[in-house]
Amino acid sequence: MSHVNLAIFDLDGTLLDSLEDLANSANQMLMEAGYLPHEVRCYRQFVGDGARTLVERILPESARRSEVIESCLRSYLAIYAKRWDEKSRAYEGILDLLDALEARGIRVAVLSNKPHEATVRCVHRFFGDRRWVQVLGHREGHPRKPDPGGVHEILATAGVGPDRAVYLGDTDTDMQTAVAAGVWPVGVLWGFRDREELEAHGARAVVARPLQLLDLLDRA
């Protein structure tokens, strides 16, 4: 992996420890709609595939009708827009990793299933004015991960082939995305899922701490 010159990151569960804000916002929506909330830890399995899928997963099965999902989605997005930075923070070691990659001349990008505007807002709030090649969340008219389209778009913007890029993420969706795009899939263990899931869906390496990525990149 010593030839890599682009690192693409998932956002929630990879760069950003945002589980509590996601869970609190979703639980507020549920309670306001008359449904029971879930324990915060349960959201480790609920999140990762976009806001609409999150809402569908947390609703009671009997309530999973399109009109209910759309109404609850609008409510959730409005609540999250107010609560998105109450508890969220960059994972320990992430800022050091981004600094080290920049020092090595390795460019960085973000690809998330979070709505695009929220993705851009989070990246700017927690990671400042770093020189990202591109920051992409889910946009209407574009398929969500695990479709590889977002990775392909970032590669084209960077002028980099897939064999010179890694994708870091914490879920099966992230690993499937990387495999489909032909980039190196690197799973991270500080996020929302476990090693077994990551390896089962194509991770070619798994790291327990952010700076361990540098060891991978040093390997011939």
Q: Which residues are identified as catalytic?
A: 10
138 and 112 Cβ atoms separated by less than 8 Å: yes
Q: Could you give phi then psi for residue 112, rounded to 5 degrees?
A: -130, 155
Provide the token pair at 131.
């020189």
Provide the token pair at 76.
């959730």
Name the residue among 137, 101, 116 with its Cα closest to residue 7.
Answer: 101
Name the residue among 148, 174, 146, 143 with its Cα closest to residue 162.
Answer: 148
* Distances, alpha carbon 102 to alpha carbons 5, 126, 127, 148, in Å: 10, 17, 13, 25
